[in-house]
Amino acid sequence: MPKTIGIISIKGGVGKTTIASSLASSLTSNFQKKVLLIDANYSAPNLGIHMDILSPESTIQEVLSNKSRMKSAIHNRFGVDVIPGSYMFQAQFNPLKLRDKINSIKNDYDFIILDSSPSLNEELLSTILASDNLFVVSTPDYPTLYCSLRAAKLAKQRGRPIAGIILNKVRDPSYELSLKEIESALEIPVVAKIPDDKSAARSLFLRMPIPIYKKHSKLSKEINRLGAALANKKEKRSILGLIMPNFKREQVNRQIMKENFYTSSFS
Ligand SMILES: Nc1ncnc2c1ncn2[C@@H]1O[C@H](COP(=O)(O)OP(=O)(O)OP(=O)(O)O)[C@@H](O)[C@H]1O
Ligand SMILES: [Mg+2]
């Protein structure tokens, strides 16, 4: 059954677009899934830059204002179907129509991935309401943790509890919040722990998703493990993971998430 996955946060710059584009290309190139990736950050849409679409023929805002059809707004890049946004769109549109628009072509895909806006308004709400499963992206610091708490509360109020935390830009664990602290504050499992990785800046400069630009980078490997869980495949373990199977807490969380993923969804 197709699944719509929303990648959210109410803090800017934590890595939503990087993760949405990387996850989409990992699911396509490593797990042969059919993926539609949509820019739902309508005010500041930059998914096109990550996916090498600089002058889109048609955009998500045109779709939401009934000026274009979903299928006409699809651009295929790196094997992923992408509906980008426009920085210049001026006319009125209704972000809350996103769910209905997705439903019109959902059956053509295995996954629909939504890159969301960090603004606490209808933009973020459109992703929350259109998603079957939500992941919140957080960095391991107090300001972002508080924003993630807020996002988790909002999603819960809307009947869409968050499936997992994607911890991004992990730099210096001795001076950062631990996985345990984050999980107990948010009461949500961490399902991926992505290091700060130079390949993020390089791939953005080259306008290629990281798993395509550098498939053996640390970031790509962790995204591939998350992709494997979502695609219901066995994840490739690190050598340490092979010696000590339960070594990494996020590996265990992913296993539990994988078991729940195919049984739970919102109606
Ligand atoms: N794991 C990482 N390591 C290093 N840099 C990263 C990582 N993840 C993202 N970045 C960088 O952080 C910056 C912000 O990333 P991104 O645009 O994905 O964030 P965002 O949450 O989508 O932001 P916004 O809320 O503004 O849409 C980019 O320059 C990106 O290359
Ligand atoms: Mg973004």
pLDDT range class, residue 195, cuts 50, 70, 90: very high
**Ligand 1 centroid from CA 104, angstroms:** 31
**Ligand 2 centroid from CA 113, angstroms:** 13
Mean pLDDT, rounded, for 198-208? 97
What's the pLDDT at 49? 97
**Ligand 1 centroid from CA 124, angstroms:** 17
What's the pLDDT at 238? 64
pLDDT range class, residue 157, cuts 50, 70, 90: very high
pLDDT range class, residue 267, cuts 50, 70, 90: very low
Mean pLDDT, rounded, for 183-193? 92
Percent of the chain's residues with pLDDT above 70: 94
pTM of this structure? 0.94
Looking at per-residue pLDDT, the higher value among 33 and 256 belongs to 33
What's the pLDDT at 252? 79
Q: Which ligand is nearest to the CA of 22?
A: 1
pLDDT range class, residue 46, cuts 50, 70, 90: very high
What is the dotted CATH code of the domain comprising 3-261?
A: 3.40.50.300
Written as six digits, the tokens of 205 are 């400069």
- CA atoms of 21 and 26, how far apart (whole Å): 9
The answer to whether residue 194 scores a pLDDT higher than 70 is yes
What are the sequence ranges of the domains in the chain? 3-261
Measured N-to-C along each axis, helices 142-157 and 122-130 cross at an angle, to the nearest 10 degrees, of 60
What's the pLDDT at 239? 61
Ligand 1 binding pocket includes 84 (Cβ within 6 Å):
no
**Backbone torsions φ then ψ of 38, nearest 5 degrees:** -120, 135
Q: Which ligand is nearest to the CA of 206?
A: 1
The answer to whether residue 264 scores a pLDDT higher than 70 is no
Question: Which of 9-18, 45-54, 250-259 bottoms out in mean pLDDT, i.e. has the lowest?
Answer: 250-259
Among protein residues, the one whose CA lies closest to atom 13 of ligand 1: 13
Contact 89, 81 (CB under 8 A): no
**Ligand 1 centroid from CA 18, angstroms:** 6
Q: For residue 11, how far is the Cα from the chain centroid?
A: 14
